[in-house]
Chains A and B, each alone.
Chain A
Amino acid sequence: MSGKYADRKGRPIIVVTGMGTLTSLGQGKKDNWDAIVAGKSGVKKISRFPTDGLNTQIAGTVDFMDTEEVSAPAISYAMADATAEEALAEAGFGRDGFPGPLYFAAPPVELEWQHRFSLMDENLDAESGYSQLLEAARRKRHMHMHLLVQIGGIAYRIAEKYKTRGLPISLSTACASGATSIQQGMEAIRRGDTEAALCVASDGSVTSEGLIRFSLLSALTTQSNDDPGKASRPFSKDRSGFVMSEGSAALVLETLEHAKNRGAKILGIIRGVGEKADKFHRTRSSPDGIPVITAIKRALDDAGIEDNHVDYINAHGTSTPENDRMEYSSLHAVFGDKVSTIPISSNKSMIGHTLTAAGAVEAVFSFMTMQNGIIPPTINYETPDPDILLDVVPNVKRDAEVNTILSNSFGFGGQNACLVFGADVVQATSASNTK
């Protein structure tokens, strides 16, 4: 492939024509953008369940949705539905159907305590345990509960509602899942399997058990329970863990040609992706940083970026001591000392870590950064870490012309996925139009 619709490597240029997002800061792109450029935090004291006595009592919960019940699958579905609808509306696809597949970054849902208790109450006289629950299930079919905890269930519902094509993919690469959903869409389009893909990510798993599990891995900050907005401090010396959060995002990807032919407005370009798995440890990165470095280099190379030039880095920046140090050293290995001059910020300083959704939520904010010429800040940056020499856009937004962005996502299980976004088509093609 060549010509005006091809990128520097002769592949179809992939554009974004619709986006939606929802976080603890609100529903929809506008409310979220207004809040993050104002440096507002969505992190708050948890009200969904009692927390007194717990080491961590805060989270970036989404409490304003009208959901069928308060559970991870129900909240995750409601948020995914809202962002998919927003993205499809912006892209100009109505309820008639979407001409491509759904790649859904899904939280691994399961039966929750409220479900166990409710089954237990149906058979209260029996001896406690799973046999008791099974007996209740045998007596009466609980189809709604069954469908809710199907691990592919949210994707089936979104696919059926918005009439995407084929069998939807429910994927998980832990905290890189949002980026992986975009990667999967890109790959399918590049293969020529489809002209368009709907990439959605959602995570609403702030349950007591979910919070306690992360807490037992010492992953969450235990500071700032009384001042939640200050809890997430990416790249600061006094960072102490991430803040568990909820959110969702959706992006409509299509080939430039497909978008032009139907007269769609182009919001930005997905220029490249890089991935490399890590074999070192279940929760920690290789000390030499090679998998992360490789993922970043592959993304830049895939995007056809010359001289490693990016205008801004949207960091994974979780605010854990280890992630932020590792992210810095890996970026330094790729960009050299020049890295200190590239603005980098972490949206997680305001919205916390939206886990499965993070890569997609941060992709939406990245495109808005380019559209608006404003870089959102890293808030709570009061005590710089002398070992992390980065321009983190501290505390206050910055006006800047941004045309190329690197966005990082890393997850438990050795998952590393990096994406490169661009603002305009000319930039994506410029070196090769003559080919």
Chain B
Amino acid sequence: MTKQNREVWITGIGLVSCFGEGATHHWEILGGDSAPAPIQEKELFAPYIVHPLPEMDWSRQIPRRGDQRQMENWQRLGTYAAGLALDDAGIKENEELVSSMDLVVAAGGGERDIDSDRQIMAEAKHHDDRDRLLIDRLPNDLRPTLFLAQLSNLLAGNISIVHKVTGSSRTYMGEENAGVTVIENAVARIAAGQSTHALVGGAYNAERLDLLLIQELGHYLSRNCGDPVIKRLENGGGMVPGTSGAFLVLENAEFAKARGAKPYAKVTGVASDLGARDAQSTQTRVKAIFEKLPASRNTVDSIISGASGVKDITEQEFSFLDKQLGSNMPVRATNSIFGNSMEGTFPVGMALAALALKNGKFYPPFEDAEKPARHDPKTILVTSFGHRHGEGLALVEKI
């Protein structure tokens, strides 16, 4: 973790989830006295359950139809959420600020053409030479533009094109961990003076058979159970994927002050690691990650957890949090209401932490087993325990 020479503020939030869009809208829905009813699609992908995309008018953030056509929903969602964050930070149409802004995107891969794949599989069923079939079919079946909608770094590319963010552009890949490392990288660069302001986040389209398949190969998906995370563990656990996009504008505090920007909160530390997943190694490693943060049992008052619901590692996480911070801590598992948005999960957690700190109130329990908050939040720990690899923690504090 970088030495924090410069304070890092969150000055913009762009959030899209099954509940709709916008930071204020999300606070109105989530910041009340009781959690909203989950919005889940249970039929279309049965036995799997996903949190779907809300109704979108893409042209509100992606005005050119030509740009919309070059993308599929994953890139549209990320580009849209990025635009919301820029708007929220008051940067959107400021040519000077966007052209010097650093872009760090957490990305997976884009959509396949499911119908085209299906047709090839149908033909391959009785075909002796499947390699031959592929080279006969693919040149005609693949849409040339689809490749660009699939390329991981083209979410960033589209954000540069649509929103003119061009200071620098990096894409980190790799499931939940990419969401952690993009934030860690942007915070480190701002803290060290390598960047003044950055647009950072990710997006995930859960309504994709190709992605459900990848998770189900490892038996990581919950079947027929869309319960919130802790209750789901009683049922054997598993992931409920969720469509969401979350971007943050992070800024050097002095830079933000100079342009009159108002902060949501400050990020005072991000740390992460990788290692063996047995109980002892995991507990030792995560404790060491926590100890890199400027935090203690006495300073952390609330937790936003990215727990996926995958049984072993979720139990490891809750056990760590109990031991490290006490069992009365209010923990809110975002997967319970948003689903798992993989690369987008940690940015969602950071956005929710910032919203709560700015509004001076923590969220009501997302399920019965979560403890109510006893105090207004001042220091929130955001967690990510990847479903298979990697753990990350961040500390977000009130200004």
**A225 close to chain B: CB less than 8 A:** no
Chain A proximity of B282: nearest CB distance (Å): 14
**A217 close to chain B: CB less than 8 A:** yes
From 87 to 129 in chain B, residues with beta carbon under 8 angstroms from any chain A beta carbon are: 103, 107-109, 112, 114, 117-118, 120-122, 124-125, 129
Listed stretches A134-142, A242-250, A315-323, A346-354; interface member: A134-142
Q: Is the CB of A130 within 8 A of B125?
A: no
How far, in whole Å, are A129 and B189 apart by their CA atoms in the complex? 45
Of the four ranges (under 10, 10 to 19, 20 to 34, 35 or more), the interface on chain A belongs to: 35 or more
**A95 close to chain B: CB less than 8 A:** no
**B340 close to chain A: CB less than 8 A:** no
Q: Is the CB of B169 within 8 A of A193?
A: no
How far, in whole Å, are A180 and B173 apart by their CA atoms in the complex? 13
**B209 close to chain A: CB less than 8 A:** yes
Residue of B nearest to A148 (CB): B217
Q: Report A-chain residues with C-beta under 8 Å of the C-beta of B139.
A: 54-55, 212, 215-216
Of the four ranges (under 10, 10 to 19, 20 to 34, 35 or more), the interface on chain B belongs to: 35 or more
Q: Report A-chain residues with C-beta under 8 Å of the C-beta of B220.
A: 146
Q: Is the CB of A111 within 8 A of B213?
A: yes
Q: Report A-chain residues with C-beta under 8 Å of the C-beta of B148.
A: 217, 282-283, 412
From 95 to 131 in chain A, residues with beta carbon under 8 angstroms from any chain B beta carbon are: 106, 108-111, 113, 116-117, 119-120, 124, 128-131
**A397 close to chain B: CB less than 8 A:** no
What 0/1 readout, one digit per residue, does chain B (183-217) give for beta carbons within 8 Å of chain A? 01100110010100000000000000110111111
**B219 close to chain A: CB less than 8 A:** yes
Chain A proximity of B369: nearest CB distance (Å): 28
**A276 close to chain B: CB less than 8 A:** yes
Q: Is the CB of A180 within 8 A of B147?
A: no
**A281 close to chain B: CB less than 8 A:** yes
**A143 close to chain B: CB less than 8 A:** yes
**B136 close to chain A: CB less than 8 A:** yes
Chain A proximity of B61: nearest CB distance (Å): 15
**A343 close to chain B: CB less than 8 A:** no
* CB < 8 Å neighbour of B209 from A134, A279, A282: A134
The answer to whether A128 and B125 touch (CB under 8 A), given A54-B135, A191-B189, A276-B168, is yes
* CB < 8 Å neighbour of A155 from B118, B174, B180, B210: B174
Chain A residues at the B interface, C-beta cutoff of 8 Å: 49-51, 53-55, 106, 108-111, 113, 116-117, 119-120, 124, 128-134, 137-138, 141-143, 145-147, 149-153, 155-156, 159-160, 166-174, 180, 184, 187-188, 190-193, 208-209, 212-217, 275-283, 291, 411-415
Q: What are 17 A-B interface contacts by the 8 Å CB criterion?
A: A50-B132, A54-B139, A108-B150, A116-B121, A128-B118, A130-B118, A141-B217, A142-B218, A150-B175, A172-B107, A172-B173, A191-B192, A276-B166, A280-B161, A413-B151, A414-B169, A415-B169
